Amino acid sequence: MLTLKELMTQALQNSANCDNTQNPLNPVFELFRGKWKNQVLFEIIALKNARFGQLAKAIPTITNTMLSSTLRELEKDGLITRTQFNEIPPHVEYAITTKGQDLLAVYYEMYKWSVKYNLN
């Protein structure tokens, strides 16, 4: 079995040779394709259980249509769950899954990188 360093070296060599079919990161890149996925996911992690209106308020530049679409994709990807409450008034809550929660370490590293290069 290859080490992580060997896998990364192989992926970089394949990309340099214009062969991205063997890149082990392709599924990850595909998972996060889209303008809003990371930000919506991060807001759900921060809020624990988030309602649509809370997310719309947290990300004021996203349209309702795009937020709905992004939430459906994140649910399909297994990163969030959607729970519908049949109460009066009815409402829906979105929560992070274990798979999604495991990305918190990735976001932490991205934050450290942002601070290091003064991107905030």
Q: Quick one: pLDDT at residue 5?
A: 78
| 36, 68, 76, 103, 112 from 108: Cα distances, Å | 18, 26, 24, 9, 6
Going residue by residue through the chain (120 aa), what tens digit of pLDDT does each one get? 677 777 777 777 776 666 666 677 778 888 888 899 999 999 999 998 999 999 999 999 999 999 999 999 999 999 999 999 998 988 999 999 999 999 999 889 989 999 999 886
Please give the structure tokens belonging to residue 45: 């992690």
The pairing of beta strand 49-51 with beta strand 91-96: antiparallel
Following DSSP, what letter does each residue of 55-72 receive, concatenated? HHHHSTTS-HHHHHHHHH
| Strand ranges (E), the chain | 49-51, 80-85, 91-96
Q: Quick one: pLDDT at residue 19?
A: 61
If residue 52 lies in a helix (H) or strand (E), which one and from where to where? Answer: helix 52-58
Please give the structure tokens belonging to residue 80: 């969030």
Cα 83 from Cα 32, distance rounded (Å): 23
